[in-house]
Structure 1
Amino acid sequence: MAFTQRAFDDRDDAGRRLGRRLARGGEADKEPIVLALPRGGVPVGHRVAEELGAPLDIIAVRKLGLPGHEELAMGAIGEGGVRILNDEVVRGHAVGEEALQAVERSERAELERRAALFREGRPRTSPAGRTAVVVDDGVATGSTARAACRVARAQGAVRVVLAVPVGAPTALRSLARDADEVVCLTAPEWFQAVGEWYADFAQTTDEEVIGLLREHSGPAGPGADAEVEVEAAGVRLEGHLTVPEGALGTVVFAHGSGSGRHSPRNVRVAGALNGAGLGTLLFDLLTEEEGDDRGLVFDIRLLAERLRGAAEWLRARPEAAHLPTGYFGASTGAAAALVAAADAPSGTAAVVSRGGRPDLAGARLAEVRAPTLLIVGGADTAVLDLNRRAQEEIACESALEVVPGSGHLFEEPGALDRVAELAADWFVRHLRPGAEA
């Protein structure tokens, strides 16, 4: 269908109008950060960020194309080590882990190259604990926008709003599953291409993206948000450290068996803690080679030593040297956290266990002096019983919170949000200045 009516003069015009709509509607009223898809989404995001008074950054995502049929997405990757897979495509085409990793290595190299080019060496602005407003200049199929929303969520955003000036109705409806809110100024039924709705749809250049991001960059604050290498108990372990400016304290995460620093549940909880003014360190308790040894996965003494070593490493960092430290443990990681707390009672301000196995700490439970919160799903009856017995052994302040109807992984709607809320409240209470350990 031929037509002459254009909805927007250019991306600048579209961004101003989209930003005003968001400011008026209140969809992004919780500490928003605008994450624009480069390149075309950045001029739009630039104006949206101005209208909202929010920081602007890019959200770098890359599709993982099926080998030999690259147009078919096996998943997507984002910064911070995020990888999202389409299990149906991976299983349906029998893609092995080696082939998957080869594609990811190639795409991650390009992702990191482009992110470094655009940011000029500035650190990524984390959406953890904030509302991520994902912005593009339009949505046609929705595949890139879907990946961006999922990556923002995996990076710890507590709310994801997809905002575009124009989009295909079918694609927008499908994206409602990936964003908490989809805001679109116009969704014409006769949609064919994004560019048809702009009078000027000239290609956005790398130089333009760099210049716009430079306008929004301010002087670096005393906080941190970076990939780190943790030295703990004689080994080097990969991790991610986030310390908000003015943080009350820091929380070191101890993951459970078969998990690591990219655990989506721990990342989600960490984001909520960041939003509450707490720093977080997510790191791998085992090296990649050690992770294949099931004996090490359940070696609570080894895990506790590394956890304690990570806390000592953290306290030597300038961002966290003055801050009290707590532990958040999941599954077997909860036992490691409790043993680490018993080993260094003066250096541990609080402990939180999510679906944990505190019983694996054994006799060390009685030596814990840090206020301890045990969070268990109501439907996880076996673990709930273990936690009740363990609480009887803990001699210091403790509490047991049951999330009704939830299983071991807290996958039910709202269950993980409740875990994050309980954990944040506990840590804020016990890590704030003047709190008694």
Structure 2
Amino acid sequence: MSLMGRARCAEGEVPVYPTDRSALVGLLRESVYERIPANDIAAKAARNLQLARSEVKSACRQAFQDERWATVPVSDREGLVGELLDGMFGLGPIEALLDDESVSEIMVNATQAVYFERQGVLYRSSQRFASDDQVRALIDRIIGPIGRRIDEASPTVDARLPQGHRVHAIIPPLSIDGPVVTIRKFTAHVMTLEEMVAGGSLDERTSRLLGWAVEFRKNIAVSGGTGTGKTTLLNALSCRIPQQERIITIEDSAELRFFEHPHVVRLEARPKNAEGIGEVSIRDLVRNALRMRPDRIVVGECRGAEALDMLQAMNTGHDGSLTTLHANAPEEAVMRLTTMVRYGVDLPVDVIESHIASAIDLVIQIERGADGVRFVSQIAELDHAIGCRGCFVRTLFERSHAGAPGRWEAVPSWVDDLPQRGVAKESEVTLWKSPMLSCC
């Protein structure tokens, strides 16, 4: 019999404590606070977290001496203590999900539910938060150490956990039903192109070309929707950058992983502070990166006027740069870049498109199927429109869904130059070009 329905069989007594597990944790918390005030716990945690946890555990053991806890088995008590410690010092009901490496995203919908994503599929967790105050406490625990704030005047915030996981929070009045938290997790292990081939995201022939493109210093934009794996692919491409090159990464929230590369400078944008000053934008960082002697500039996500500075960098000697952007197709990626450039400068569309065609060599489109599998669906080459200014998008590769074979429609214009630059042998290029059939 579980603790929820357990009674003292000898005397037929009904348990004094409630049957709801979250209520049991709440009562245990109250018992701890009777012994150690909440302010004292917070102060001790700031000085020595391990000592604070130890004292709370001791207070829990004292609380369990009360005969009213006699109906709760020892094994269940240990679980309650764990949940209490997670709530006080960790991230409460989502702590276990954070520790689960198979979980890629966690969504806290106020007190209604907690959802998580595993291998691209959403599941509802059995855990949930007991109150909006508990969710707010979670948000404050995340953003407090990094100096961010969230309140009615500024009801949204972006932050990251020490592990590098990205966090977004939004509270009332913008979030009608209560505070909402979304955590995008990033594994410590960086997936390589070879591992993406093994997982079905792309085939060996596509992987070979993308590796060559990075080594040949082609400018690449990874395009796709939210959660399609743009950052994962960008990390995989970055693994092919030669180790003797200096990389400058620029991100709104640091997500890229360069654990193996010896020479990486990581820059992160900064929002306004509580006084409304101190903002450092992605565009500011791109301009600064140009003065830092970069061999490669990697912009985690291009979403605003910084597109102009990034394109100018690509067109003025900083070949081999990488970025991601939100778009549903390579043609839409050109449209979005055009719109973003116009945030910064008012130029004719055809002039901007010509600038894009000169700067970006490849657009890699990545999608997520209904079954959660992420895959490269299209690769396109950008070039100047024939006979006029503008941008021409030439499709090189297409794949309709993860289970379908992809097909190469054309050979990139620069493939034949690979042997002269020492990127690939003549025999390798010839072998790669020979089968213009199914690539899976």
| TM interval, short-chain normalised | under 0.3
| Structure whose CA Rg is larger | 2
Per the normalisation by structure 2, the TM-score is 0.27
Higher relative contact order structure (alpha carbons within 8 Å, sequence separation ≥ 6): 1
TM-score normalised by the chain length of structure 1: 0.28
